[in-house]
Structure 1
Amino acid sequence: MIQEVKKHYGGLFEPALIEEINRVATFMEVPEGKDLMQPGQYIKAMPLLLSGSIKIMRPDTEGDELLLYHLEKGDTCAMSMTCCMGNTKSEIHAVTETPAKLLMIPIGKMEEWSSKYKSWRNFVFSSYHNRMMELLESVDNIAFNNMDERLEKWIEDKIQIINSKHIYTTHKEVAQDLHTSRVVVSRLLKKMENNKKIKLHRSFIEVL
Structure 2
Amino acid sequence: MAAPAIPDRAIPAGLDPALRARIAAAAAPLEAPAGAVLFHPGDACTGFVMLGTGTVRVDLVAEDGHTLLLYRVAPGEACLLTTACLFAGEAYTAEGRAETALEGLLLPRGAFDTLVAESPAFRRFVLAGFGARMTALMARIEALSFRSVDHRLAEALLAHGRREVAATQAELAVEVGTAREVVTRRLNALAREGLVALGRGTVVILDPAGLRTRSESG
Query: Structure 1 length as normaliser, TM-score?
Result: 0.88
- Aligned 8 A contact 1:85 1:107 in 2: no
Alignment match, 1:36: 38
The letter for the 2-side match of 1:40 is: G
CA 1:10/1:183 → structure 2, altered by over 3 Å: closer, same or farther? closer
Aligned residue among 80, 83, 90 for 1:81: 83
Alignment match, 1:146: 148
1:20-99 alignment runs, 5 A limit: 20-99=22-101
- Aligned 8 A contact 2:47 2:106 in 1: yes
The letter for the 2-side match of 1:181 is: A
Alignment match, 1:9: 11
Aligned residue among 162, 165, 180 for 2:163: 165
Distance 1:182 1:78 in 2: 27
Q: What is the root-mean-square deviation of aligned Cα atoms in Å?
A: 1.8
- Aligned 8 A contact 2:38 2:96 in 1: yes
Aligned residues: 202
SS in 2 for 1:75: coil
How far off is 1:10 after superposition?
5.3
Identify unmatched segments of 5+ residues in structure 2.
207-218
Query: Structure 2 length as normaliser, TM-score?
Result: 0.85
Distance 2:113 2:184 in 1: 47
Alignment match, 2:178: 180
CA 1:10/1:35 → structure 2, altered by over 3 Å: closer, same or farther? closer
The letter for the 2-side match of 1:201 is: G
Q: Which shifted more, 34-43 or 50-59?
A: 50-59
CA 1:15/1:40 → structure 2, altered by over 3 Å: closer, same or farther? same
How far off is 1:34 after superposition?
1.5
Alignment match, 2:212: none
Percent sequence identity over aligned pairs? 24
SS in 2 for 1:196: coil
1:123-142 alignment runs, 5 A limit: 123-142=125-144
After TM superposition, the runs of 4+ consecutive aligned structure 1 residues lying more than 4 A away are: none
- Aligned 8 A contact 2:50 2:78 in 1: yes
After superposition, the C-alpha distances for 1:101-140 in whole angstroms (9 at most, x for unaligned) are: 2211101112211122222111111111111111111111
Alignment match, 2:111: 109
How far off is 1:190 after superposition?
1.4
